[in-house]
Amino acid sequence: MRVLRIAFQAVFLVAVVGFLLYLIDNVIYNLERLGFPTGFDYLSQQAGFAIPDSDFRSTQSLGDALIVGFQNTLKVSLLGIVLATILGVVIGVARLSTNWLVRRGAALYVETFRNIPVLLIILFWYLGVIIRLPPIRDAVELLDVIAISNRGIVVPWFDKIGAGVAFGLIALVAVVAAVAVWFWRTRRFDRTGEPHRRLLWSGGVLLLLLTVGYVLGGRPWTVDTPEVGALSTSGGFRLAPEYAALLVALALYTASHIAEIVRGSILSVPRGQSEAADAVGLSGFQRLRHVVLPQAFRISIPPISNQYLNLAKNSSLGVAISYYEATKVTQVSIAQSAPAVQAIVLLMGIYLSISLSIALVTNLVNRRLTLKGRR
């Protein structure tokens, strides 16, 4: 019987591997036949295209272009994840509010964004909003510090004007001190039961020392506010229109999914917990913060990490609005006669590595948070 099992598996493997080899063989044959290179050496060729909003020159290699694309993917994914989570949690909790208007408004938001394809949302934000913003001359200035025009959104940013060494050292000391204060307050709480307020203490110490360091270090940073000129803006930090559109669209879309997950996870906390919290005398907000949300958080981690993964994968739709993330770079490379097979395989490899990283982090967090005695 065992021999049969092993024999069957051997045959199966041979069939699968044989099929894959046949495909690869065809690929190599066709590549050679059509004059394409078959290795990955094409990556050192000149790119022949420039990437906007970066220092990438068209004389740099295709490999470098792909790296810049990968960085852009990460830029939009990471910030998108942060924004989507904040918005999603707020709306998810709003869905359960006692206020009818808030509840219905949140439901309206979720039902709208969940049922429309991401691509349409991205196109809408890019072609319907960002492009229609006023040109630079008539840029809208929010609160006099943020400039919005069809060339992008410019926000104030830090500008380094002095040597930051002294400040850097003091900043390091500040961080260490903050961590030490955190542990001190936690230990004190364990001993005496007084509220630790460690966030306030740590944060306060950090801010205090950073301010001291800033002053003593000779004020090495200033805040650079954007100046609106006739043809362009100077100063500040510019979010390109493509980036802004993609970011906003992804955040809004993913937030609607996260809101549903948050709502589901809050609802799945047994009602007895809320009732017990009420019986003990906690206010509504305390009940949320100390009883419901921690338990809901644990339940919601796998689905939410799945949404993070979806956001990273949906960033590939930047190709539709010419945001130069990995997929767009690949598409342009193929148009510049890079071999399609290798380019797409590399692209898939990039996304697989992102998936794997997110899955690893999720597993780690999950393992640390699972209750004893449950899988």
Q: Taking a C-beta distance cutoff of 8 angstroms, is the pair 210, 164 a contact?
A: no
Query: Minimum distance between the CB of residue 267 and another protein, rounded to whole angstroms?
Result: 11
Spatial distance between the Cα atoms of 299 and 295, rounded to a whole number of angstroms = 7
Q: Min. distance of Cβ 223 from another protein in angstroms? A: 30
Classified as helix, coil or strand, 100 is: helix
Nearest approach, Cβ of residue 319 and another protein (Å): 6
The Cα–Cα gap between 295 and 269 comes to 7
Taking CA atoms, 186 is separated from 113, 172, 365, in Å, by: 42, 22, 22
**Which DSSP state fits 134?**
P
Name which of 68 and 118 has its Cβ closer to another protein. 118
Least CB distance to another protein at residue 247 (A): 17
Strand partners, 140: 148
- Taking the mean position of all CA atoms in its chain, how far away is CA 165? 31
- CB-wise, 182 or 243, nearer to another protein? 243
Between 43 and 346, CB nearer to another protein:
346
What is the helix (H) or strand (E) element at residue 237, kind and residue range? strand 237-239
CB of residue 214 to another protein, shortest distance in Å? 36
3-state secondary structure of 201: helix
3-class secondary structure, 238: strand
What is the contact surface with another protein in residues (CB under 8 A)? 5, 8-10, 12-13, 16, 23, 26-27, 29-31, 33, 97-102, 105, 111-112, 114-120, 123-124, 127-128, 132, 309, 313-314, 316-317, 319-320, 327, 330-331, 334, 340-341, 344, 347-348, 351-352, 355-356
Minimum CB distance to another protein smaller for 36 or for 189: 36
C-beta of 17: minimal distance to another protein in Å?
Answer: 9
Cβ closer to another protein: 85 or 314? Answer: 314
Q: What is the CA radius of gyration of the chain?
A: 26
Q: Which is nearer to another protein, 134 or 229 (CB)?
A: 134
